[in-house]
Amino acid sequence: MKYPREFLEKIPKTDLHVHLDGSLRLKTLIELARQDGIELPSYTEEGLRSLVFKDKYRDLPDYLQGFQYTTSVLQSGEALERVAYELAQDNLKEGVRYIEVRFAPQLHVNDRQDYEQVLSAVDRGLSRLRQEANASLDVRERGLPQFNYGIIACAMRMFKPGFSEYYRRLFQVFPYSTDVQVYRQASLELAKAVCAIRDKKNLPIVGFDLAGQEAGFPAYTHKEAYEYCHRRFMKKTVHAGEAYGAASIFQSISDLHANRIGHGYYLFDEEKISEIEPQERTRYIRDLANYIADRRITMEVCLTSNMQTNPSIKDIKNHTLKKMLENGLSVTVCTDNRLVSNTTVTDELQLAVDNFDITPKRLKDIIIYGFKRNFYPATYMEKRVYCRQIIDYYQKLESEFKIVY
């Protein structure tokens, strides 16, 4: 079915998988780089689009090149607050009513700012936009649902070359540990930090994530950090199945207590499984998919990003979103990185409805899953009230646009 673009723009949406350092405005990146004396390949938006932030990439390493520039300009509280505010503002303009902004705080800790200052700066930017949005007449008098947000802290499966030594020097710890031991300890320290800061400052730090290269850097290395969060009622999500197979997803669920899975693209790919005997792989995938569907472990689907980091997909219609929907999985459509993938939530929804069998009922389910399966920073009963407002507003727009089931 064809949906009016205006309908996709106006419906209340979420983005549960969006990286702060992958979603800057190009103009802001250039301004911050000039201000801090940071060298960029180009100082024009056109130049950066041509050289770094492209529509197509060779592979994942090519896709990740831009992060060296974005993280380098986010080393102060002022910069972090600004880009957080602008990210929320950009989402608000296209009808997104709830976002969960994720980033790796350890990549922004330096001699001038610690974990608490980094997280507080991001919260200030998001909070300022929320206050402005919810003071509007549309929200106060015309029934538009409130804007809200949560913050997700990303641990890293591994650090880029040289960062382990930097981490050791910065925190003056682990001088005799291997790099893998540093990764594990760094994740645990981050888990302790975000739980403590959440409770001390009452910040909406709602989730813990694990990002970075899957192959060769298994999730169970970070089990202790996830156990620490789990015992303190912190929600969990894990980048898994983005470049590795179903076993990585299962490990994230069984060892790390994942409530959601970031990407999950290779869930159904038998060739990506090496841990299971060939004759058992079909059943293994079927049982895992059924378990994920039954437990409503939501898949954070990022269509454009997957196409860019996995050129072998070739055609969007080959994306495993089709199989996820056929198997009844709970899915929510996300951007991953608004700058690096040059996309918006509305663009991602447009891709989905243009290329897959998404009926009005299924589209509504996808949208509502984003609200029901988010890590909303309030009580369960408050979240229920918010979801009811979202559903009522969505149905109002369906009626206005004559969307028929």
Spacing of C-alpha 313 from chain mean position: 21
Measured CA to CA, the distance from residue 230 to residue 247 in angstroms comes to 21
Are the C-beta atoms of 400 and 4 separated by less than 8 Å? no
Per-residue DSSP letter, 176: T
> Is the backbone of residue 346 left (phi > 0), alpha (psi -120 to 50) or beta?
alpha
Q: Widest CA span of the chain, in angstroms? A: 66
pLDDT score of 393: 97
Cα dist from 121 to 38, 88, 117, 313, whole Å: 21, 14, 6, 38
Which domains does the chain show, CATH number per domain?
Answer: 5-400 (3.20.20.140)
Residue identified by tokens 């969990």 is: 236
Structure confidence at residue 258 (pLDDT): 98
Q: What angle do CA 292, 296, 297 make, to 5 degrees?
A: 60
For the entire predicted model, the pTM comes to: 0.95
What pLDDT is recorded for position 103?
98
State the pLDDT at residue 172: 60
The single-letter code of the amino acid at 331 is V
For the chain, 405 residues long, give each residue's pLDDT as a single digit of tens. Answer: 899 999 999 999 999 999 999 999 999 999 999 999 999 999 999 999 999 999 999 888 888 899 999 999 999 999 999 999 999 999 999 999 999 999 999 999 999 999 999 999 999 999 999 999 999 999 999 899 999 999 999 999 887 666 656 666 656 666 656 777 888 889 999 999 999 999 999 999 999 999 987 777 888 999 999 999 999 999 999 999 988 889 999 999 999 999 999 999 999 999 998 888 989 999 999 999 999 999 999 999 999 999 999 888 999 999 999 999 999 999 999 999 999 999 999 999 999 999 999 999 999 999 999 999 999 999 999 999 999 999 999 999 999 999 988
Judged by DSSP in three states, 57 sits in coil
Q: Residue 210 in contact with residue 244, Cβ under 8 Å?
A: no
pLDDT of 170 reads 58
CB of 267 closer than 8 Å to CB of 300: no
